[in-house]
Structure 1
Amino acid sequence: MTPDREKLHLKACSQGDLTYSDPRTGYPVFTALALERRGDCCGCGCRHCPYGHQEVTPDERAMLHRDPWIEGDLPKGPVDLLFWSGGKDSYLTLRALEREAARPTVLLTTFDGRSEQVAHQEVLVQEIRHQRKRLGCAQVLVPLFPGTGYMDRVLLGIQTLQFRTPVARLVFGDLHLDHVRTWREDAFSACSDIASIPIHLPLWGVPYEELLNDLESAPVQARVSAVADESCAQVISVGDLFNRDLIARLPNGIDEFGENGEFHSCIEFLPKT
């Protein structure tokens, strides 16, 4: 989809319009607001399907340039928008926000629009959607496609949320890498439409022992979902539980939380007792 179409659609939605005119053909196009009135996906591959084209066949869905969409009931008033990968750091960040109790949290997840995998975590977005249901919060899902910039798609996802509810803070689970923090601050401040939204890093500089204690007290466990470092691959495998025993096996020089991308994790919920 061209940037002009995206802007026209966002403008139409912000005005509460149910259609807009395609700039190339002049034909009317239903907005996501109009399609939401159906209550579910019709399976026809509508341009602005607000349900992620879930009733379109997987093969056909993989060929569509899908808009970001929202799942779950949005809370009223301003929200914190947490960038959610489904791993331990994301989950610990959510727990930190819950302790702050400043405002409701909405999740935002980016994933490959063709394979439907979440980058780095190497898990299917369906697993991330299942996490959202267990957590009971709303989620913005942002498919990424070749030839479209990451920040352009993230901005579209944020704007998709903004015409429904204000965003108070952009929240990330970064722990201590200065270059990652600097990149985020520079990249998001360069987007004029969202430059005024502050970035919040609740876990920044928190000692690992404190994070481990918090994870151990939580109703979840984290498993390794991907191993990128060759030395790590000699001692840990996909499916291993992330715990103190795993940390003790890590080679010297490897970050205990895999903050340098050495390995990644995905949380799973423990059975209710």
Structure 2
Amino acid sequence: MQKIKTYFNWSSGKDSALALYYLLQDGRYAVDELITTINSHYNRVSMHGLRKELLIAQTEAVNITSNLIELPEMPSMEIYEQKMLETVSRLKSEGFTHSAFGDIFLEDLRTYREEQLAKQKLKAVFPIWKRNTKELINEFLDLGFKTIVVCANSKYFNEDFVGTIIDKNFIDNLPKGVDPCGENGEFHTFCFDGPIFKNPIPFTTGEKVYREYDNPKTEDDSICKNDKYGIWYCDLIP
């Protein structure tokens, strides 16, 4: 039986790693490319702040062809969608029919992804969709994956939290209201070892940096809403 030619939207974090693991276990799919968006101004993975060199080392260890989509520092939605369209058009011309994601339960995001792909007559795959996130993070650790927190929302965490390697104790001590997988954007990680890697990724931890960003504007914004939100980053050095 011919396998379904699939590309994976790779974030470099734990959810991507686990979703890819399950996809590779599923005999129906052939995952032939990983794609990742990069902030071209800083040469780092978008949102995660991970150095491009570590991303490349990671995808080489996974042993799947990777492609980087370079975005400006603060891309508009129009620029983002144009860059994605260029990449998806290429992938489609190369015979890809499915696009996989590590999303778990963000309905709006899933709908957006499916609608954008449908315009190109591609289908979306969500290997860990609607799974219990506490069960997922425990499965992730039980399978032998290893991951470190690279950035975290200052609403929930201080600088001591970033640079932490996730273990069972970490899960049990998360603040109330924080998803065990950080699925609401509470934190992001870098996965550096596990069953999909041919070797662990070596790195050392560097400085911790705090940055503030503008909150997206919505129609129901009140004058009391904070205009900015803060993120703690831990730099990882190859």
Q: Is 1:267 equivalent to 2:196 in the alignment?
A: no
Residue 219 of structure 1, CA deviation: 4.3
- AA of the residue aligned to 1:94: L
Identity of aligned residues (%): 25
Q: Which moved more, 1:99-108 or 1:205-214?
A: 205-214
Gaps of 5+ in 1: 1-75
Matches within 5 A, 1:69-108: 79-105=5-31, 106-108=33-35
Query: 1:95–1:77: structure 2 CA closer, same or farther, 3 Å change rule?
Result: closer
Distance in 1 of aligned mates of 2:55 and 2:90 = 19
Native 8 Å contact 1:112 1:119 kept in 2: yes
> Number of residue pairs matched?
191
Q: Deviations over 1:121-156 (max 9, x none)?
A: 110122111111101111121111246611110121
Distance in 1 of aligned mates of 2:179 and 2:112 = 20
**Whose RCO is larger (CA < 8 A, sep 6+)?**
2
Distance in 1 of aligned mates of 2:138 and 2:178 = 20
Native 8 Å contact 1:77 1:166 kept in 2: no
Residue 87 of structure 1, CA deviation: 0.1
Residue 78 of structure 1, CA deviation: 5.2
TM-align CA RMSD = 2.2
**TM-score, structure 2 as length reference:** 0.73
**Aligned equivalent of 1:171:** 100
**Aligned equivalent of 1:206:** 131
Distance in 2 of aligned mates of 1:198 and 1:107 = 16
**TM-score, structure 1 as length reference:** 0.64
Distance in 1 of aligned mates of 2:183 and 2:148 = 15
Distance in 2 of aligned mates of 1:181 and 1:233 = 30
**Aligned equivalent of 2:207:** none
Distance in 1 of aligned mates of 2:37 and 2:83 = 9
Distance in 2 of aligned mates of 1:249 and 1:233 = 14
Residue 79 of structure 1, CA deviation: 2.1
Q: Counterpart of 1:104 in 2: which secondary structure?
A: strand
Distance in 2 of aligned mates of 1:260 and 1:208 = 11
Gaps of 5+ in 2: 201-238
Distance in 2 of aligned mates of 1:176 and 1:168 = 23
Of the two, which has the highest radius of gyration?
1
Q: 2:112 aligns with which of 183, 198, 203?
A: 183
